[in-house]
Chains A and B, each alone.
Chain A
Amino acid sequence: MQRNSFFLITGLVLLTATTACQKSLLTVENNSSAVQTSEYFTTADQCNTSTQVCYQYIDWNSWWQTFNWRYLSGEAASDNAWINNTYQGSHATYNAVSEYTLDAGNDRNEAQWIQLYKAIGIFNNTIEGIQGAPIDSASKTKFIAELKFLRSWSYFDLVRNYGGVPIVLKTYPANTHLPRNSVNEVYDQVITDLNAAIAVLPRKSAYAASDKFRASSGAAQALLAKVYLYKEDWANAEAAALQVINSGDYQLETSFGKLWDYAYKNGQESIFEVQNASSQNPALPASALYMMNAVADGGWGYYGPTSDLENAYLTAGDSIRRVWTINRQGRPVAGDPNNTNFNAGGYPANQSKSGRFPRKWYVPKAQRPANNLFSRDDIILRFADVLLIHAEACAMQNKPGDALASLQKVRSRVGLTTDMSLSGWDLITAVRNERRLELAFEGDRLYDLRRWKDQSGTPVINSILGPNGSFVRYNTQTSTDIFETHNTIEPQNKGAHFNPAIHLLWPIPTSEIVASGSVLKQNPGY
């Protein structure tokens, strides 16, 4: 019995001991590498680094996110590009976008919507963290101004894709639903954020070398000019563009090809670009350029220039930008002495629709990193774009002199003369054509076609796409292009399903409408 008591007491002691230590035992909180938001944002350095890492959310640079949509929507849904990958079969929803057979369930379109709003949410959340931080007000205002610039880019991209969208400027509880704002309200919000940024941000030239990637007052002015252009507020567009032009911070690169050098980073023509690096450890954002490389060249073979685009260069006698925009089967590659015979998948192999791939996003063989992580930056705004915004704004205000001056700068750089007698619609058409030649494969083509109106006030895209569109008729009736006409895996009548009553905007994703509890209303026709 004595022995029994011993065990009994031992048991009781154990019971007491385990109960006593339960408090410390149960207090186990988050233990990943994460840090509680409520405990962070205590120093200027924390606010500074949090602001800087936010720049990556401008461009979710994975192959299927906003980076992809820039080319899928901006180029392949226009007359500039094919989906081009006829090697793999599993991209039905890509085709649906470029062929205008998409519905509101399209996952590529959905990705764009989700990621833009995710970026906005992250910017808002970071702004809130910094706002509560016990740091000096000058730094605080500056960091917030940078984040506002990033936010304004995201809203600009939303409004040109979808029209009026809900304006979200803070972190809401999970059960919140907000209705759509009007197109004008969204533009007003973008302009408000940009003006706040312009007032606070330093010029690009004032940034230290390592900070050249950060939003500058010039970047905010350039975006503001573009926003006014989309708003058809020509006077303000001209004024904002002039501020950038006159700032002296930016110059055209002397040669067009220099911009497409693999090593080009934040140069004199660059106004705002997303930084990429070829680093696995630490894991830094890298560019998904392999998406746009030919399959035969180690890539995935998406997005190739149309023969229609090539013809535009040929018609303009623009050989410099043609070779720096288009790699063509069997031709030497501009800027790559190791690739004198470009392989787009051969002829008549079914690997690519057009036998052409974009040169702008090609990496010369000798410069390809062993880890396949490309450090090529994604240029979002560059000086040539601002010059053309200025030219267009002036042309639309019937100021041919100012327009021609800017147009000439862009053309001279690529060895083209400018007819200084142009005016009226001829000038407008010339500026518009120049935008296509200069900026092809940089993601603006579709949005330009949507916003441009012809003399009768009809969107230009209506006469290019659709069953009787000029691009569709060219492909189905005129074209004898040796590649495109022999590979009908991607249909030759691309764009024939374009319907002007529907397709000037992309649909709000079905899943978003469901998530909003149907508070969000769909765009007409979807």
Chain B
Amino acid sequence: MKRRLLLLSLLTFFLGGSVLSQQGPVVISGVITASAGTPLAGANVAIKGESKGVITDDQGKFSLSARPGAILVVSHIGYHTKEIHTTGKTFITEALTISGQEMENAVVIGYQTASRKSVSTSIASVSAKDIESYTTGNVGNALEGKVPGLQVVSGGGLPGAQPKILIHGLSSINYNNNPLIIVDGVESEFNDLNFINPSDIATIDVLEDASAAAIYGARGGQGVIVVTTKRGKGAPTINVAGTYGINKLPRIRLAGAQEYAGVMNQEAAVSGQRTLPFPDPSKLTSADYWKNTFDDGHTQNYVVSATGGHNGTSLYGSFGYYREDAYNATSLGGNWQKYTARLNADMELNKAVKIGFSVAPRYETWLSSPNNTYAAYSMDPTVLPFKSQDSVRKSIPNGFMDMTAFNPLYSTPNRSTYNSITNPAFNYLTNFGKNDYFGSQYAAYLQVAPVKGLVLKTAIEGFVNVGQYNNYVPKYYLASNGYNVNAQLSSQTTLYTRWKITNTANYKITVKDHSFDLLAGQSTDKYFVKATSAARQGPTAIPLDDPSFQYISAATGTITGGGGSYQPGATPWGNMVSYFGSLRYNYKQKYYLAGTMRADASSLVNPLYRWGYFPTVSGAWIVSEEPFFGKLADKAINYLKLRASWGKSGGNLPPASGAYLTVLGATTYPNATGGYIQGYAPATIANPEIRWEIQKDYTFGLEARALNNKLDITAEKFIRNPSNLLENITVDYILGYPQGYYPTQLANIGKMTTNGWDLSIGYKDNITRKLRFSANLTVSHSKSIVKDLGTADPILGHEANDAISTFRSRLTKGHEPGAWYGYVTDGVFQSDAEAAAYVNKNGTRLQPTAKAGDLKFRNTNGDSVLDSKDFSDLGSPWPKFTGNLTLTFNYGNFDLRAEFYGSFGAEYFQSYRLNMNPNSHLNFKSGFADQFWHGPGTSNKFPVLRYPDQNGNFSKMSGFFLAKADFVKCNLLQFGYTIPKWIRGVQNLRIFVAAQNLFAVTKYPGLNPDLPWYNNVGYNGVDNYQALPSRVFLVGLNLNL
């Protein structure tokens, strides 16, 4: 076969030669194969410098006409692109070699980089192209679902809301579950990616297992997100990008006045009230508080950046502006503005010495956004939204308050005398909480390579962040039980400073087939927080209600509230001294073995127990390099790697500096003559032995590429065993420990296991030369089980002050953390007789106060009473699976991108049901009340609306409050067109339209299935009127100069 091809090509060479002399277009045909000789279908054969081109057929054949001497560019996904000179040829056979590009890509593994192929731990990566199409102020939002093993919990719908990131499921019970964020080697934050402009990011590498993260020791336990920003290279280019969007809030149809009043009357009648609250509903006028409260918001994002290098010096710089206005843009609904800049400079002095600097300042300013969802939803619709300023003045009893700086405008929103909710416009009118935040990161490094293979590096980094908050609470008078007679002004400034110095030595040597990579390092870092706050208030604190007087400096009178904090070695960083090292070895780039070790000493731990040691070991086997794998490597499966790792890293450090000390706190008490006594009373009886939490895990991974590298699969299974978890062990109340309402003491006692797997499948192909397609699917699964809580078991999840005041969820040994916990309901009693017939084996009623319409609670243990022993796990607030599907299509200069995120298996608590508690008189979604029992056969799920609620339908936790929250939502739909060589000096211009959070497919009955993090690991998944995410419709352009 090969020989025949050769003959054929020789033949065409001569024939071609004769054609060449004719100087007209020639037909060139040929066959493209993979290096082993198998035909390669779908390869792109284009003429260099022209837009013409074709795609190879199933036999790898192509044919096209070109001018003589044209250069063909042959490319195929997963293979190295080749250029072929056609001079004198009309038939071409060309074999493309497999591109190991993805395998050779640099991955940041902590203090050094390594090729993807050599990594034996769990590290997932995302590049700029997967995040840049999503317009957001926080790149965390763009990561949702895209990184296997990384879960992004939405921050909710208010401007500047920050999402929460979990890596490989839950790692702690009571403390931080959020990863360490490192930008270009600078330890920057935990969880929060807000400080970085998404468009500055080149790649994000996520160190997921302890084996990967433990090089960061006691701070690595929740995983590490390593962000690498763009650095200068190549010829200077300038990029200008701008996006503008409108944020539309979903419309919720609430009950109007007639429906509301009807239901309230019905409740009163059913409850035996002699007088109805709304004697004549037909006369009522209706106010639509949802419509009145919310309108459109806006999103804007503009970035200018430049990159380039020259003579060993390279620069990358950017400036960005991002703004989000809350979906009540026309009033004081809040907004968030962020200015970011970055300058990365690198200089190679000579082959041995390199130095670099980064400066990244950011300024944020925002007007706090009140969440008005609850008030808009619950407000009594029979009440008119506003009263006149004149009637406000008249409603204030004579001499009730000093009228200095009283502005009646703030009191014009009406308050319902029936359900005591105030028109949410009040929260906008009195929204004066302004924040300024200046953060800046600085980093410099000096790298010296004195001898071959050895690199010495010293890096100095620091950040200085300053937050400033001003608030003004005006006087107002809404009703006789809702007023403020003092103007209040407060101000708070907090300064955070941190510096760190890191010294590393890295030595690489290859002896025959053996390669060694040795790293040793040391670092020291220090963190400081200082804050001051002051407040002034009083009936005449300011002379006028005017913006210029709304600062503490303009107020008169003495400072009524003042404070501050001085925290050297503050959490979460503390002060730390660390030593670390790693050894990475491979044989023939086929067998890999690596180990790391770190020792940390933290100021947050008692000096007696200060040092912690964190070892890891991992290995990988590139199966496809084995001879026995043979031709398979070039056909079905092009690459196959297996890896396994074990590691131990530190989890959370103790949550406060000096947490190991027993202390007294300052307190005051009045004496008998109008003075007071200042003294110290017991504040904490501490456990001197508390130290960091520990994460140990095993991870097994498989990485494969198949079907001529079009298909890319990564699968991973992990078992994570967080231990030494810091638990507030309940101290027997009778011992009277002063700390906490429930007296507790911190101890490293908790244990948990988190089991999970992640799967990532990518497929990309050229369907025709112009039409390209790719699909990426990720699926993540993890499930945690509490293994030990010591005497803290069980920890009950509950609200501070609530109708269900005892609990809703539970942390307990052997169960999922925060599983819903309460009565199983067996429907609704359809008649009094049915309720009376619900008896135990002695004939005694199990629910003695139950009547028709009440919930029937299951006597789970079959004993003679219905009590706490009958509670069961009712469901999990954690999804079983989350995943993402990203589809891209390119046709010529058009591009289309669609991103879908899905979550399955979670059950969420419905506060909308709890708040139907008929004593509360809150409004509801139109038609919602009809679903509640109002006669035999009307409902077997929702109880009757009747007070007093002696059966506890609304005060006992039961399955009635829970709903499944499976959903798929479209995070992004984007359509773009690129105008190439538009005008001189413009390389290209891309314009696009996009919709973010466009729709969700779900049967979920609550307001938002993509719930923000609620409270803690033991109490999460409460759908409680969190601000809804809006749909964002965007237009944008991207200009490359």
Chain A residues at the B interface, C-beta cutoff of 8 Å: 1, 3-5, 7-8, 10-11, 14-15, 18-19, 21-22, 25-38, 40, 46, 48-57, 64, 86-90, 92-93, 95, 101, 103, 105-107, 113-114, 117-122, 124-126, 129, 165-166, 168, 171-172, 174-178, 209-213, 265-266, 275-277, 279-285, 295-299, 343, 348, 350, 370-371, 375, 486-491, 509-512, 514-517, 519-520
Contacts and interface: CB of A to CB of B under 8 A. Distances in A.
Nearest to A115: B741
Nearest to B570: A31
Given A7-B448, A489-B948, A114 B353 contact: no
Given A31-B568, A114-B743, A296 B481 contact: yes
Given A64-B801, A168-B734, 11 more contacts: A11-B503, A21-B524, A33-B665, A86-B919, A92-B805, A277-B674, A279-B670, A284-B668, A511-B733, A514-B730, A519-B732
A296 B417 CA distance: 10
Contacts of A37: 662-664, 682
Nearest to A64: B801
Interface stretch (B22-30, B84-92, B949-957): B949-957
Interface string B459-503: 000000000000000000000110101100000000000000101
B805 to A, nearest CB: 5
B672 A512 contact: no
Contacts of B664: 34-37, 40, 50, 129
9 contacts: A21-B524, A86-B919, A92-B955, A117-B735, A210-B673, A275-B669, A275-B671, A285-B669, A350-B277
Nearest to A345: B417
B764 interface: no
Contact of A516 (B561, B666, B676, B732): B732
Interface stretch (B108-116, B250-258, B267-275): B267-275
Nearest to A94: B805
Nearest to B744: A174
Interface residues of B, number: 115
A26 B679 contact: no
Given A119-B736, A211-B672, A174 B731 contact: yes
Contacts of B275: 348, 486
A221 to B, nearest CB: 20
Interface string B222-256: 00000000000000000000000000000000000
B544 interface: no
Contacts of A174: 685, 687, 729, 731, 735, 737, 745, 747
B95 interface: no
B743 A121 contact: yes
Given A53-B667, A89-B803, A281-B562, A371 B446 contact: no
* Most interface-central of A1, A25, A297 (chain B CB within 10 A): A25
Given A31-B658, A52-B669, A298-B480, A105 B868 contact: yes
B806 interface: yes
The 10 A-B residue pairs whose C-beta atoms are closest, nearest first, are: A121-B736, A89-B919, A30-B658, A49-B679, A28-B569, A34-B663, A53-B679, A18-B524, A89-B920, A92-B955
Given A34-B683, A36-B662, A11 B456 contact: yes
B575 A25 contact: yes
Contacts of B669: 52-53, 55-56, 275, 284-285
Interface stretch (B10-18, B600-608, B900-908): B600-608
Contacts of B737: 118, 121, 174
B678 interface: yes
B539 interface: yes
Interface string B400-440: 00000000000000000000100000000000000000000
A122 B954 CA distance: 37
Contacts of A1: 450
A473 to B, nearest CB: 19
A122 to B, nearest CB: 5
B921 interface: yes
A95 B567 CA distance: 45
B577 A515 contact: no
B677 A49 contact: yes
Nearest to B790: A175
A282 B668 contact: yes
The secondary-structure label for the interface of chain B is: loop
B806 A18 contact: no
Interface string B317-351: 00000000000000000000000000000000100
B832 to A, nearest CB: 17
Contacts of A296: 480-481
B680 A168 contact: no
B676 A29 contact: no
Contact of A266 (B420, B672, B947): B672
A212 B729 CA distance: 40
B522 interface: yes
Nearest to A91: B803
A19 B577 contact: yes
A125 B682 contact: yes
Given A88-B420, A168-B734, A53 B681 contact: yes
B451 to A, nearest CB: 9
B349 to A, nearest CB: 8
A64 B353 CA distance: 67
Contact of A210 (B523, B562, B671): B671
* Most interface-central of A118, A279, A488 (chain B CB within 10 A): A118
